[in-house]
Amino acid sequence: MLPVFGGLLVLIVAGITARLIPGFPDPVVVRKVIGKIVITFFLPALIFNAVFTAPITQDFLAVPAVAIGVALFSLTLSVLVYGIIFKHQLTGPVKGTLILAGTWCNATYLGLPIVTSVLGQSMQKVPIIFDLLGMTLTLFTLGTIVAVEYGRNVVHHTIWQGLLEVVRLPPVISLVLALSFNMLSIAIPQWFLDTCRMGGGAVIPLMLFSVGLALPFSRESISRQRWTDPILIPAIIIKLIIAPTIGYYLISILISDPHVAKATLLESAMPTMVLTMVFAERYGLDEEVLARMIVITTVLSMGVLLTIV
């Protein structure tokens, strides 16, 4: 499996390298443009083709249950550690950042390429529903509560508003349509599915390149940031060890298909979600600490994922 991970790593390194090219546009701007294009066009296309053509089984429906279970357990443990045990040692933005970083995983931007490369396109449905019906759903609801509670920006945002944001996302709309058409056995022209498959093919390289752009490996950031800060260790352990362990036990109870089980376990072991950076910017959390968590967990997760594979 090393060649598979090697190919994915090359695309991530390409994104990191692009940051260092003289005259290259602002990586933050490029990442936002790529994200907008992927979320609006290419990812909905991939989702529709993957979910519409997938058989709807009990294992399929159990995947988001595992995702929600992993998120809830990780969130509870992260709040216990950073909201209670280290309550007086850290600022609010740092506590909120580490709670988000220890709870939500990069299920689509990194999970989709890895699951597809390891288990094939037939398993693309797993990271899609793991993320949209599990991780993204809980991030925009429970994650919003955490960000509002600990952020320095005074932003009033309710769970209901978070749910509205979720249902308006193009990938979620595409997922609902694909599930509805699949379950109702509504015929879709083959040319449309072929177009979706073609457009969806752009998702993985763009996502991996964007992950590279999001990783602050510039010379200035390396010299400025404290990469060995011990306060990060609990969040790293929760994200890369405890979360997949909880996922393993939930999977053993809920999922029988070995391929779906392995794909779901891989998802449970993904590093910190890049999308949490949007919440850090919006609510005034500590973006520098979050960037460190994204980098560290992304690098360390490769060893965990190789162990699972």
For the beta carbon of residue 225, count every other beta carbon within 10 angstroms.
Answer: 15
Region 216-240: mean pLDDT is: 73
Q: What are phi and psi of 215, to 5 degrees?
A: -90, 120
Looking at residue 254, what is its pLDDT? 96
Looking at residue 226, what is its pLDDT? 57
Region 174-192: mean pLDDT is: 92
Q: How many CA atoms lie within 13 A of 263 on its CB side?
A: 31
Mean pLDDT of the chain: 87
Q: Which of the four pLDDT bands, split at 50, 70 and 90, describes residue 227?
A: low
Looking at residue 228, what is its pLDDT? 59
- Residue 213 reports pLDDT greater than 80: yes
First to last CA, the chain: 8
Q: How many CA atoms lie within 13 A of 27 on its CB side?
A: 19
Q: Which of the four pLDDT bands, split at 50, 70 and 90, describes residue 219?
A: low
Contact 232, 293 (CB under 8 A): yes
Looking at residue 126, what is its pLDDT? 94
* CB contact set of 32 (below 8 Å; sequence gap of 6+): none
Looking at residue 145, what is its pLDDT? 87
Q: Which residue has the higher pLDDT, 306 or 242?
A: 242
Tokens of 76: 């509870």
- Residue 3 reports pLDDT greater than 90: no
Q: What are phi and psi of 272, to 5 degrees?
A: -55, 135
Tokens of 242: 């405890």
In the block, tokens 């398993």 appear at 123
Q: Which residue has the higher pLDDT, 163 or 234?
A: 234
Domains and CATH numbers, the chain: 26-308 (1.20.1530.20)
Per-residue model confidence as pLDDT tens digits over 118-160: 999 889 899 999 999 999 989 988 998 898 889 887 666 666 7
Looking at residue 159, what is its pLDDT? 67
- Residue 48 reports pLDDT greater than 90: yes
Looking at residue 220, what is its pLDDT? 54
